[in-house]
Structure 1
Amino acid sequence: MSSRRPRGELWVQGARAIETVAAATVPKTAEAWPELLFHRFTGNFLSIGSTDSTVEAERLLDLDPSVYFYVNAPHPHFGQHVTVFAVDDVVDSRYVHVSPFDTGGLALGYIPLKKAAGRNERRLFVQLHSFEHDRYWVPFLTWVRKAFRRFAGYVEARVPGHHFLDEVDLEACTSAQAWFWEARVHKMRTLPATPRIRRVTLGPGDRRRFMEWLSTFGAHDSAEALDIAKRFRRLSEESPDPVKAATMYLLDKGVRR
């Protein structure tokens, strides 16, 4: 199991404004995002279907089916709701790897490299630049402190002064996925060793929509539904800009330097 985790380590997942999540148990008329958030609360990532692009990226890179997080930052393009997780000791480091870029973005050609790279080169690139969970934190912090004037610059998705890797063509990058660090957990190993939700930021009216969905579709066991409802009320907040609200939370609770 992992050693004691660094203070301030938080992982983040977002959701696009229009999201499709495969689930045979939920009526097609139900909104997809409450179901996604429900499974994140329960830690049942196996019930969250991967997108076609994720499946293709994993095929190209020869990666096991995984659950993906950004390290200590919310991506501006995934702002329907944002979920912040505490890693703590519950995550088994044997099944976690961290890369200084979005692996899916690299596989699908959204992150340009200075030298042309085919599938094999990109697959090798990911293998060479993937940290074990217990070994990424110091390199991550060292780079952030050199590439940004302050840690907030990274959390706010500002362009760094340089990429962690010289091979990445930062000037040609158009998205923070090129320099946000990605943590990936083997999907089959997420239960029971799953990160725990610490904050959820949603758009106006979405707390009510989630509670309505939960009461109708969310849990067959009343005790489980009551527990999730209680945690959701305590950990969630609404904002006109869920990404900005999550950013403020990360700056307050995450790394403070």
Structure 2
Amino acid sequence: MHNLLPNSAKTGEAEMGLGIRPSAYFYLGRCDPDYGDQVVGYERPSTDESLVSPFDTGGLWHGHVVTTPPLAQSTLKTFVARHSHGVPAFALAFQQWGNAEYNGSSKDYTAGQQPVKAAVPNIDLSSPRAEPRWWTWEGRIAHGSTAMHTLQPVKVFMTQDDFESYEPWVRDDVFLPTHEKKRHLSHLRAILVPTGNEDPAQAMNLWLEGQTQW
């Protein structure tokens, strides 16, 4: 379904400036409750069509992730390319950083505890402006790629009200053949975790805390 959801204008601006193909974006190993009301957990892609960076690339472009010393916007494309890891090659860098910053346990990372050091030396977490976009690892998968078409959701966390709105949207508005809509909704019901009044991102993080991220 990610191919059917257009990126925002701000995301498109960042992609153009950073030389990133139009993509879907995912945080690795944790959800940030400040972004999104419905949360989907996916299997980790196994193809090198996917890329991972140890910070939020859109946040970098729009000035929400700050480097020390500050980088000129004209250099950010090169900076992102230098700090983009392929899949599955990124896993070693993620593991080494996680083991160093969280003593081998990914639970505190998932819960949002800020590390002492980001994985990129230019990002100084001692800054009072530091926030999760500075150190949360981001995955991106280009729209139309084989990786996007084979991406498998394993958990969906949403409130009952949101599900009741989502189901008629798929049924009435999404441009898919009827049999595809039925298959999609059947799979959704199988992996749906209703959260009641609980924040879906927090519910997902509680589940992720029981999974090993590196």
TM-score, length of structure 2 as denominator length = 0.88
Partner of 1:155: 110
Return closer, same or farther for 1:220/1:195 CA change in 2, 3 Å cut-off: closer
Partner of 2:39: 82
| Structure 2 unmatched ranges of 5 or more | none
Report the aligned-residue RMSD: 2.0
Q: Which amino acid aligns with 2:124?
A: D
**Secondary structure class of the residue paired with 2:20:** coil
Q: Which amino acid aligns with 1:154?
A: Y
Partner of 2:205: 247
Query: By how many angstroms is 1:130 displaced?
Result: 1.0
Partner of 1:225: 181
CA distance in 1, matches of 2:67, 2:24: 25
Partner of 1:200: 156
Query: By how many angstroms is 1:215 displaced?
Result: 3.2
CA distance in 1, matches of 2:7, 2:161: 27
Query: By how many angstroms is 1:88 displaced?
Result: 5.0
CA distance in 2, matches of 1:222, 1:121: 47
1:145 maps to 2:103: no
Partner of 1:70: 27
CA distance in 2, matches of 1:206, 1:72: 23
Q: Which amino acid aligns with 1:163?
A: A
Structure 1 residues 168-177 or 127-136, which shifts more? 168-177
2:123 to 165, 168, 181: 168
- Structure 1 segments (4+ residues) deviating >6 Å: none
Return closer, same or farther for 1:62/1:79 CA change in 2, 3 Å cut-off: closer
Partner of 1:109: 63
For residues 46-94 of structure 1, what are the alpha-carbon distances to aligned partners after superposition, in whole Å with 9 as ceiling and x for unaligned? x3211111111112212222221111111221241101111354xx31x
Query: By how many angstroms is 1:205 displaced?
Result: 2.1
For residues 145-172 of structure 1, what are the alpha-carbon distances to aligned partners after superposition, in whole Å with 9 as ceiling and x for unaligned? 2112431111112111211122102123
CA distance in 2, matches of 1:52, 1:256: 31
Query: By how many angstroms is 1:101 displaced?
Result: 0.6
Query: By how many angstroms is 1:185 displaced?
Result: 1.6
Query: By how many angstroms is 1:222 displaced?
Result: 2.9
Return closer, same or farther for 1:174/1:76 CA change in 2, 3 Å cut-off: farther
2:18 to 61, 82, 88: 61
Partner of 1:131: 85
1:182 maps to 2:138: yes
CA distance in 1, matches of 2:80, 2:5: 24
CA distance in 2, matches of 1:118, 1:88: 32
| Structure 1 unmatched ranges of 5 or more | 1-38
Partner of 1:12: none
Return closer, same or farther for 1:171/1:189 CA change in 2, 3 Å cut-off: same
**Secondary structure class of the residue paired with 1:165:** coil
**Secondary structure class of the residue paired with 1:170:** coil
TM-score, length of structure 1 as denominator length = 0.75
CA distance in 1, matches of 2:176, 2:16: 35
For residues 166-204 of structure 1, what are the alpha-carbon distances to aligned partners after superposition, in whole Å with 9 as ceiling and x for unaligned? 210212344311111111122231566431111111124
CA distance in 2, matches of 1:158, 1:110: 19
CA distance in 2, matches of 1:256, 1:187: 25
Partner of 1:50: 7
